[in-house]
A and B are shown apart, each in its own frame.
Chain A
């Protein structure tokens, strides 16, 4: 009798948790997908395969960490994928000028951040929708990447602790991704800046009336997103061992945005979490990898991705309704 009551209590608590914390529902779906592929595909539960998944998801996670902040403050960055592409070539131009690798890396990330500042300034000064500003910036950066690289891949720096720490070492890229998620989640949920970012996206007029400097908040978030995308591009290039002007781009950016949305971030601004985006990316990575292992045509991945994004949005709307009911 008692145990049955307890089970019911636990089930109710889990149900409430699923409704209240969107991340939890994505986590459950992740586990379900992993269990499915572990049973049906051979070689899913090997360290090597986990490493493969980590390689898929790390760039998405790193870019998504910035995109979530931007989406929360009501903006989007469509150029982040090409900052990811361009940053390694910025790095080689700095090392070509004789800078040591670590300093060149810092400079390349700083220049990436400046791209975000430009995006943010154009958006705030001229009141152009960030969708348009960053769309233009995406094409601009794609062209710049091809010019800077002569449309040829370049060898990435190897050897030395810097190259090892920033991508070459096993798991280095994923560890950086997790560190970034932790840092950005702390920024979002425990600092004034995070709360203000939410306020700007939820009610820009109200935030301004309360004295929040909304333009500054937006520009900082644009800069963060671009800097993270640039850093992610460099890590990924060093891991692969080659800087490729066809790496990254729109696909990487859209997968990052998809990760954020599947993870519960509202495209209209006001709410979302970095950890949700991490889980969203993980789900996409597991499915992508699982399809490869089980021999499903890679093209089917896009079909699933499309369905997953729409399903995630519908789930968000539905959970929102449930939560409102639960409060009454």
Chain B
């Protein structure tokens, strides 16, 4: 099915429209073709799981969907409109937000300033910070997820990996008008208890039905557990697109590892 046919069928079905749709995206870094011909979409209220081996192009794809990289070929449709994401700031202004693998946390800054990183509240047109207001809102945001942190004034560098991850997720979720949230390995640095909290948070977000989520994870059990659909990225191409109800952990494992089979 071509992309055009696919988008036509999407129009005919009563399902909510895709918040973002990537069509024939390719991206090359020198000799390395990180993305070849990627077609992908995610709808409002849907969690899409993105899996693939290391080096398959997952991070490049995420960075292309968030305006960090511009694709060499292909196009992005945001709410059905062809859109060129000029920068991360531009993507954010449209409501596209990311939790990056390396967390993009500033260790020397306190929790509340990390939550408001590069969207600090200021006094109207003046560039002066509204620290007490940011502290208050940060406290509220963290309380509502049930993340326990001694103080929003604590420097992030002194927190545990799980606490840092939780703050990274909170930062993306509580950005004012997030419509598409991308999470790159959000559970990698977490213990079971903290990981469970994040999964519960994602489920709550899904129930709100106003936000689309793309989740990258290596733990396929979590993918099958929480995602509606799963896409497999191999060598810069999506080679599988299937509802999680129609697949299983063992099948996903088999697909990812098949190409390295010794038989």
A residues with a Cβ closer than 8 A to B are: 190-193, 195-196, 198-199, 201-203, 205-212, 270-271, 324, 327
Stretch at the interface among B75-83, B116-124, B234-242, B252-260: B116-124
Contact A192–B117 (Cβ < 8 Å): no
Contact A199–B117 (Cβ < 8 Å): yes
Contact A203–B68 (Cβ < 8 Å): no
**Complex alpha-carbon distance, A196 and B109, angstroms:** 10
Determine which of B104, B108, B150, B158 lies in contact with A210 in the assembled complex, contact meaning CB atoms within 8 Å: B104
Stretch at the interface among B3-11, B41-49, B85-93, B211-219: B85-93
Determine which of B88, B100, B105, B108 lies in contact with A198 in the assembled complex, contact meaning CB atoms within 8 Å: B108
With A202-B106, A209-B68 already in contact, the answer to whether A192 and B100 are too (CB < 8 A) is no
The minimal Cβ–Cβ distance linking A30 to chain B, given in whole angstroms, is 25
B residues with a Cβ closer than 8 A to A are: 68, 87-89, 92, 98, 100, 102-109, 113, 117-118, 120, 122, 127-129, 150, 154, 158
A-B contacts besides A192-B127, A203-B105, A206-B104, 14 pairs, CB < 8 Å: A191-B127, A192-B120, A195-B129, A198-B109, A203-B104, A206-B100, A206-B102, A206-B103, A206-B106, A209-B100, A210-B104, A210-B118, A211-B89, A327-B158
Contact A195–B120 (Cβ < 8 Å): yes
Determine which of B87, B92, B127 lies in contact with A193 in the assembled complex, contact meaning CB atoms within 8 Å: B127
Determine which of B98, B109, B117, B128 lies in contact with A191 in the assembled complex, contact meaning CB atoms within 8 Å: B128
Contact B129–A271 (Cβ < 8 Å): no
The minimal Cβ–Cβ distance linking B102 to chain A, given in whole angstroms, is 6
Contact A327–B154 (Cβ < 8 Å): yes
Count of A-B contacts judged by CB separation below 8 Å: 69
The minimal Cβ–Cβ distance linking A306 to chain B, given in whole angstroms, is 27
- Most interface-central of A199, A208, A212 (chain B CB within 10 A): A199
Contact A196–B103 (Cβ < 8 Å): no
Contact B158–A324 (Cβ < 8 Å): yes
The minimal Cβ–Cβ distance linking B131 to chain A, given in whole angstroms, is 8
Instruction: Kindly list chain A residues whose C-beta atoms are within 8 Å of the C-beta of B128.
Output: 190-191
Instruction: Kindly list chain A residues whose C-beta atoms are within 8 Å of the C-beta of B127.
Output: 191-193
Closest 8 CB pairs of A and B: A206-B104, A270-B108, A211-B88, A202-B108, A211-B89, A209-B104, A210-B118, A199-B106
**Complex alpha-carbon distance, A114 and B105, angstroms:** 32
Instruction: Kindly list chain B residues whose C-beta atoms are within 8 Å of the C-beta of A199.
Output: 106, 109, 117-118
Instruction: Kindly list chain B residues whose C-beta atoms are within 8 Å of the C-beta of A195.
Output: 109, 113, 120, 129
The minimal Cβ–Cβ distance linking A252 to chain B, given in whole angstroms, is 28
The minimal Cβ–Cβ distance linking B63 to chain A, given in whole angstroms, is 8
Contact B109–A202 (Cβ < 8 Å): yes
Contact B107–A190 (Cβ < 8 Å): no
Contact B106–A191 (Cβ < 8 Å): no
